[in-house]
Amino acid sequence: MNIQNPNLPSAPVIVELEAGSKIAYCTCGWSSKGVFCDGSHAKKETGMTPKILEITETKKYALCACRKTNNSPFCDGSHAR
């Protein structure tokens, strides 16, 4: 059972991430940390897990907040369609 938060923001989250770091991208949308996983998927028994991303280049990234992207975890503009 995949239960995703229906009340997600539509705009991407712009964050600067450093090369060599790892992030856990929230796929369920219930995290209190926005696009970063806080374990809410387990507490709410969503059946979903975070997507682990290894950063290879220090730069600003547009992370999808609406979870509609076809290029997870990056925004591809699907929120505007």
Phi-psi region of 2 (alpha: psi -120 to 50; beta: other; left: phi over 0): beta
Tell whether the model's pLDDT for residue 2 goes beyond 90. Answer: no
| pLDDT computed for residue 55 by the predictor | 97
Residue 62, C-beta contacts closer than 8 angstroms, at least 6 positions apart? 12, 13, 14, 74, 75
Task: Identify the three-state secondary structure at position 2.
Answer: coil
Residue 26 has pLDDT above 60, yes or no: yes
Q: Is the pLDDT score of 1 beyond 60?
A: no
Distance CA 24, CA 17 (A): 12
Query: pLDDT by residue (tens digit) across 34-80?
Result: 999 999 999 888 999 999 999 999 999 999 998 889 999 999 998 88
Amino acid residing at 80: A
